[in-house]
Structure 1
Amino acid sequence: MTEIIQTFADISDRYDVAFVDLWGCMHDGVRAFPDAVAAMQGFRAHGGKVVLVTNAPRARGPVEAQIGSLGIPDDAWDSIATSGDSARAAMFRGAVGRKVWFMGEKHDRSFFEPLRIIEEPVEIEVVELDQAEGIVCCGPFDPHADPGVNRPQFLYAKQKGLKLLCANPDMVVDRGGAREWCAGALAALYTEMGGESLYFGKPHPPIYDLARRRYGALNGALDDPRIISIGDGIHTDILGAQQEDIDSLFITGGLAAKETMTGHAPDPQALTTYTEREMVHPTYAIGFLR
């Protein structure tokens, strides 16, 4: 049964490293959550390591700049693993061909910046759909539009047998008080229509492999660390932890605030009903990271 806790400090001494989600956990897309920042600073002050593990469809550098602008200071984390970096590695190895149709907003174009860790990378060219060998999806063109607006393009792509590389498996995020669609919703639609989607972020293994490598590169990293995964996505952060056989802390005041009836803390019965319905079982739960 999931244990409801009051603060991360209640359990933090049981772990060496925290794999921490960003959006909905450390910030809301507009500003950082001060209590979450303080919790990670406190964990690090007592010897813990923090690897920010995010489904952001961008490289580590742009994510670092973004979170700094939102108010997350450098002393709240040790390293960053992004879905974007994991997916970029696959793209530059030719997972969806050389000529790709790009889905996303202007700021997602950093996805195509060179990735130096790949030897002899494939030279990628962004083209129109009728010339494409595959699809790179960092998100919708309009995050407020229903994913169904892409059905005509997806039908054409499916008929051509194009694979879709999904750089962000998240279905939705809440930016401030507004909900937005993510690349995961488009990939789910494409799969539903009979197309093939490739995933690299949470809850899929590649990003956890990357997070472990990021942790391993830190000074003082242990060979067999005690890991806890923290986040608000039941089918990304928590399911991913369950599949990796690591403990998890579910932030119920994020995407599942309504379902878990979270005020200061989740309602125990609502939390149990929700997790049983979703068939995902976090080790711990808390209303907000603090």
Structure 2
Amino acid sequence: MTRIISSLSEISHQYDALFVDLWGCVHDGVKALPEAVAALQAYRKTGGKVVLVTNSPRPRAGVVKQLAHFGVPEDAWDSIATSGDSARSAMYRGAVGEKVFFIGEDHDQNFFQPLDILENPAEIQQVPLEDADGIVCAGPFDPLADPDVMRPQFLFAKQKGLKLLCANPDIVVDRGESREWCAGALAALYTEMGGESLYFGKPHPPIYDLARRRLSALGKPVSEDRILAIGDGIHTDIAGAMGEDIDSLFITGGLARAETKTVKDPDPAALDAYLIKETGAPTFAIGYLR
């Protein structure tokens, strides 16, 4: 049974480390959420470690710049694990070949920054779809357009047997009050059409392996039962935590705000109905991280 709490401090003493989602939890895609920042700062003052685990297709350095732009201070976190870093590592290992068709916006081009940690990385080239060995998707060309606009290209790609590397498994995000499509929506469409999609962010294991390496690098061994995952995505953050067998705190005021009837906190009956419908079982729930 999911327990509704009123603040992170109610349960934080049970955990030595937090795996914290960003969008919808720490910022809203426009600005930092002050109560969430304060909660993480207070947790770190007790000695706890905070690893930001995000499905952003950006490299870690890009997320650091983004956080500064949104006003998230550096004393609210210790390290960052991004879906982009995990997916870039796979790309430079040749997961979808060397000639790739790239789907994303101009600002996503930093996905192709060299990855110095690999020996003999693949020599990646961006090419038109008809010349590609595989597809790399950091997000839609237009995040407001229905993913179905890619159906003709995906039909061609499926017939060629191309694999799609998905740098961000999120389906949607809310940028302020506007809902946008993410790479996960395109990967889901491609899979539905019979293509093969490769995932490296939540809820899939590679990003949790990366998060554990980031946590270990902080120099403080932490057992699995002392890690709490925090996020607003029932099919990413919570499903991922369940798959990794770690406790989770579901932020109901994010993507599921309407379904859980969250004002300050979720309506208990609405939350139960939502969790049954989505087959999610978070350990705890709270309206907003605070």
TM norm structure 2? 0.99
Distance 1:272 1:132 in 2: 46
Q: Which residue of 2 aligns with 1:40?
A: 40
After superposition, what is the alpha-carbon deviation per residue over 1:86-135, rounded to whole angstroms, capped at 9, x for unaligned?
Answer: 00000000000000000000110000001111111000000000000000
Amino acid at match of 1:224: S
Q: Which residue of 2 aligns with 1:214?
A: 214
Alignment partner of 1:87 is 2:109: no
Q: Which residue of 2 aligns with 1:8?
A: 8
Alignment partner of 1:49 is 2:49: yes
- Give the SS at the match of 1:213: helix
1:223 to partner: Cα distance: 4.6
Identity %: 70
Distance 1:281 1:70 in 2: 31
Q: Which residue of 2 aligns with 1:153?
A: 153
4+ runs deviating over 6 angstroms: none
Alignment partner of 1:136 is 2:169: no
Q: Which runs of 5+ in 1 are unaligned?
A: none
After superposition, what is the alpha-carbon deviation per residue over 1:118-173, rounded to whole angstroms, capped at 9, x for unaligned?
Answer: 11100000000000000000000000000000000000000000000000000000
Q: Which residue of 2 aligns with 1:224?
A: 223
Distance 2:173 2:12 in 1: 27
- Give the SS at the match of 2:37: helix
Contact 2:28 2:175 in 1 (8 A): yes
Task: Map residues 170-189 of structure 1 onto 2, 5 A cutoff.
Answer: 170-189=170-189
Amino acid at match of 1:222: P
Tell me the C-alpha RMSD between the 2 structures: 0.6
Distance 2:39 2:238 in 1: 19
- Give the SS at the match of 2:32: coil
Contact 2:17 2:222 in 1 (8 A): no
Task: Map residues 164-175 of structure 1 onto 2, 5 A cutoff.
Answer: 164-175=164-175
Q: Which residue of 2 aligns with 1:112?
A: 112
Alignment partner of 1:97 is 2:73: no
After superposition, what is the alpha-carbon deviation per residue over 1:44-72, rounded to whole angstroms, capped at 9, x for unaligned?
Answer: 00000000000000100000000111010
1:224 to partner: Cα distance: 2.2
Q: Which residue of 2 aligns with 1:71?
A: 71
Q: Which residue of 2 aligns with 1:198?
A: 198
After superposition, what is the alpha-carbon deviation per residue over 1:240-263, rounded to whole angstroms, capped at 9, x for unaligned?
Answer: 000000000000000000110001
Distance 1:50 1:108 in 2: 26
Distance 2:236 2:213 in 1: 20
Q: Which residue of 1 aligns with 2:263?
A: 263
Amino acid at match of 1:209: D
Distance 1:213 1:273 in 2: 36
Distance 2:121 2:132 in 1: 18
After superposition, what is the alpha-carbon deviation per residue over 1:176-205, rounded to whole angstroms, capped at 9, x for unaligned?
Answer: 000000000000000000000000000000
- Count residues with an aligned counterpart: 289
